[in-house]
Amino acid sequence: MNWGRGIIIVFVLFAAFIFYIAYSSMTTHFDLVSDEYYKEEIEYQKVIDSKQNAKNLKSQISLKVEDQKVKILLPDELKENPTSGKIHFYSVLNAKRDQQFPLTFDQNGEQVIQVDKFVPGNYTAKISYTNSGQDYYTEIPVKL
């Protein structure tokens, strides 16, 4: 083998490597955090205010995972008034795993969600709720 063939072989292998990298980068699937990212960014001040409202409560909304169920517990000071809102289980790995449920608390300030339809993994529970005209927002990491 002479120098000419060696250089040609190295050049062909390098070009094949570059084409492989380009092809694999074009076929990789990326999920955005949100499909309506720009709209939500403009309204983010409301989220900041709602987070501060939640921090100002004496006790925080909480989640308990037990026996294939997620139990959401409303803070004691909000149990007396009707509360509405939603909970969004956000999966970092894949947007297809995300689940969203309306909040419907019973008279004890609890709601139970079955987790049998969830793909096991780590989620962030994004809880936004309204009580007496005041908005609240909390994010809680949860493993299902």
Angstrom distance (rounded) from CA 92 to CA 98: 9
User: In terms of domains, do 66 and 118 share one?
Assistant: yes
Note whether 71 and 63 are within 8 A (CB).
Answer: yes
Angstrom distance (rounded) from CA 82 to CA 135: 13
Instruction: Provide the residue range defining the domain that includes 68.
Output: 37-143
Average pLDDT for residues 41-49, to the nearest whole number? 85
Angstrom distance (rounded) from CA 127 to CA 131: 13
3-state secondary structure of 40: helix
Whether residue 32 is predicted with pLDDT greater than 80 in this model: the reply is no
Note whether 139 and 132 are within 8 A (CB).
Answer: no
Count of C-beta atoms within a 10 Å radius of residue 103 = 18
Token pair listed for 77 = 């000071």
Whether residue 1 is predicted with pLDDT greater than 70 in this model: the reply is no
What pLDDT digit, counting tens, does each position of 74-92 carry? 988 888 888 899 999 999 8
User: In terms of domains, do 89 and 130 share one?
Assistant: yes
- Residue 67: the pLDDT is 86
User: In terms of domains, do 63 and 79 share one?
Assistant: yes
Average pLDDT for residues 8-25, to the nearest whole number? 94
What pLDDT digit, counting tens, does each position of 94-141 carry? 888 999 999 999 888 899 999 888 999 999 999 999 998 999 999 999
Give the CATH number of the domain where residue 117 resides.
Answer: 2.60.40.10
